[in-house]
Structure 1
Amino acid sequence: MAATSAFGASQAQAAGVTAGTLIQNTASASYGSGSATTTVTSNTVSIRVDELLDVAVSSLDSGAVPVASTAVLTYRLNNTGNGAEAFSINVSPAVTGNGFDATIQTIAIDANNNGTYEPGVDTVITNGGSTAELAADANTRIFVVVSQPSGAADGASSQVRVTAQALTGAGTPGTSFAGQGQGGGDAVVGATTANANALGSLIASAASVALAKSYVVADPFGGTKPVPGAVVTFTIAATASGSGSVSNLHIVDAIPAGTTYVANSIRLGGAGLTDAADGDAGVASSSGIDVTIGTLAGGATGNVTFQTKIN
């Protein structure tokens, strides 16, 4: 006697076979009786795969995000279950050990999946609100916009926790929700308890920067009229305010249309810089300038100047 089996195939997802898939099995047997061979088959057994509820959350920021007025923290939510599921999102700025608790301004879902928070484009949700339904193995980004409370000490650290939970339900692994799975089967809580969280980090900055731009004109006739051939000297003043300091400050500016950049005219704090990327703080070309000021303490000002000629 011999027996064979046939199973339905399905593409594997994060947690295995897709919820709602029918796994079917039919056995067969053949036997001899005298000179004849007879084949018989069993009934077909069908098993509908239940939905496994699992989720993962991670922070996408490479380190602590500086926050002076506002900052954006970025998280990734992965549906690691085997069925389509929506997830509730809860954000808590009160984490044990915080030097300060940030104020939550906005929670948003990355609507166009470009990884950049865009007010008016990304989908804003309330704290405790939910994502759209995510297919098995799909992910989305969550943006949390925070502000720094008054009185936060410069350099103080803080964390913000984002928690995602399957809308169908959560609990100890193996908890079952009858008939609530994709495809009409049950939904079963997986190893993650259908609830996961991640921490994003902030660092307080008691300094902020304001930019002011001015210009003077020197025309070919010794006057100050903006006529063709006149040279315009632009000054960009970056002023830090507050009790702390800012770091990695650099100034960029485009060369205005209708003018031509005067080669090697960029200066930082009165010191001349070359246009080439040669180790000094400035780079310039016909399209614009980029000057690195670096660290600037509260109350200090860094001045960048460059010249263009009106065509």
Structure 2
Amino acid sequence: MGAATAVFGAPALHAAGTPAGTPIQNTASASYDDGGTTITVDSNTVTLVVDEILDIAVTSADPGDITAAPGELNAVLTYTVTNGGNGPEPALLTGDPNIAGDDFDPDAISIFIDTDGNGNYDPGTDTLYDPTTPPVLAADETITVFILGDIPATAADTERSEVSLTATAATGSGAPGTVFAGQGEGGANAVVGSTGATDVDSGFYLIVDADLDLTKTATVVDQFGGTSQIPGATITYQLTSEATGTGTLANVVITDAIPADTTYVANSITLDGLGMTDIVDADSASFDGSGITVSLGAVTAGTINIIEFQVVID
């Protein structure tokens, strides 16, 4: 189901109440007057054992879509699993990356248990889920569970992927009130609670990707005021860099070699209309004798940068 359905459609869990397996004992008594003597008679003791309630809830713990890049490995989705029952219960976990109606499916997923309880996925610390030894949740206990997904390289900017986590009581699930005789804590019965002893919720990946478009134009002005491409004419090259998509590109560096049969015009580099120096210094540009380099750093999608420099035809 979708996240909204799981949050608003699932029955609410309540406090576990009296622990499963707790004996409830009661003995009645009667008294009467027998010739001036008060006689007390006790009934037999009736002992009832509190049955175990099976209630499991799953909730996505992410504040919204988790951004990921095409080809990213181990992108983390976070969920909580709560035992709303009144006895310890193993929780069987299943992840499903193949939800119909979304834009793409992760190439692979794996499930991890938050071993140190800090709510963050810690490689090398948190435990890979083993279905043969599912985590045992105490009554009213909540644990954090992570699904790690490998994002396909073909995933495109703004695409979304839905991944669900299902948790089910190992003792059994079904319609509320279903009884599993003798399978509860302390040999009592286990009774399915309001959640049906199983629940599911979804997390979502959102692809955030940026690309760089680079175009180059040339304008010629000759020494006679015309545009002839003759020796002595000045060529102004303009490089237009545009970041597209929705992400951020890191460490963007633009280089351009000085063409043969031309001579670079010293200190002619401009970036977005601001003059740059040729030496390596605090500004973003430099000239090394054979070409120019302009370092743009981190560039967010939607940013346009314009670089210009000049050469003279030999």
State the match for 2:301 in structure 1.
Answer: 297
State the match for 1:283 in structure 2.
Answer: none
Q: Is 1:90 matched with 2:91?
A: no
Deviation for aligned residue 1:16: 2.1
State the match for 2:220 in structure 1.
Answer: none
Q: Is 1:169 matched with 2:172?
A: yes
- 1:174 and 1:43 map into 2 onto residues whose CA distance is 30
State the match for 2:157 in structure 1.
Answer: 154
Q: Is 1:113 matched with 2:114?
A: no
State the match for 2:53 in structure 1.
Answer: 52
The one-letter code sitting in structure 2 at the alignment partner of 1:189 is V
- Note the alpha carbon deviations across 1:101-160, whole angstroms, 9 max, x for none: 12334310001111111111111025x565321111111110111122132221112211
State the match for 1:24 in structure 2.
Answer: 25
Deviation for aligned residue 1:56: 0.5
Is the alpha carbon distance of 1:102 and 1:26 closer, same or farther for their aligned partners in structure 2, counting shifts above 3 Å?
same
Runs of at least 5 residues in structure 1 that lack an aligned partner in the other structure: 1-12, 209-240, 250-268, 272-292, 302-311
State the match for 1:104 in structure 2.
Answer: 108
SS at match of 2:153: coil
Structure showing greater radius of gyration is 2
State the match for 2:260 in structure 1.
Answer: none
Deviation for aligned residue 1:39: 2.2
Is the alpha carbon distance of 1:129 and 1:144 closer, same or farther for their aligned partners in structure 2, counting shifts above 3 Å?
farther
Matches within 5 A, 1:213-224: none
Of residues 168, 189, 201, the one that matches 2:192 is: 189
**Contact 1:88/1:129 (<8 A) preserved:** no
- 1:112 and 1:193 map into 2 onto residues whose CA distance is 29
Deviation for aligned residue 1:36: 3.2
Q: Is 1:73 matched with 2:80?
A: no
Is the alpha carbon distance of 1:248 and 1:84 closer, same or farther for their aligned partners in structure 2, counting shifts above 3 Å?
farther
> Whose RCO is larger (CA < 8 A, sep 6+)?
2
- 2:148 and 2:204 map into 1 onto residues whose CA distance is 12
TM-score by length of 1: 0.62
SS at match of 1:72: strand
- 1:28 and 1:193 map into 2 onto residues whose CA distance is 41
**Contact 1:207/1:298 (<8 A) preserved:** no
Runs of at least 5 residues in structure 2 that lack an aligned partner in the other structure: 1-13, 212-241, 251-271, 275-296, 306-314
The one-letter code sitting in structure 2 at the alignment partner of 1:155 is T
SS at match of 2:137: coil
SS at match of 1:74: strand
SS at match of 2:136: coil
- 2:92 and 2:132 map into 1 onto residues whose CA distance is 5
Q: Is 1:139 matched with 2:142?
A: yes
Deviation for aligned residue 1:294: 8.5
**Contact 1:52/1:187 (<8 A) preserved:** yes
- 1:37 and 1:151 map into 2 onto residues whose CA distance is 90
**Contact 1:152/1:206 (<8 A) preserved:** no
Deviation for aligned residue 1:50: 1.5
The one-letter code sitting in structure 1 at the alignment partner of 2:172 is G
> Number of aligned pairs?
218
The one-letter code sitting in structure 2 at the alignment partner of 1:56 is A
Is the alpha carbon distance of 1:129 and 1:141 closer, same or farther for their aligned partners in structure 2, counting shifts above 3 Å?
farther
State the match for 2:205 in structure 1.
Answer: 202
TM-score by length of 2: 0.62
Task: State the identity %.
Answer: 45
Matches within 5 A, 1:264-279: none
**Contact 2:182/2:188 (<8 A) preserved:** yes
The one-letter code sitting in structure 2 at the alignment partner of 1:134 is L
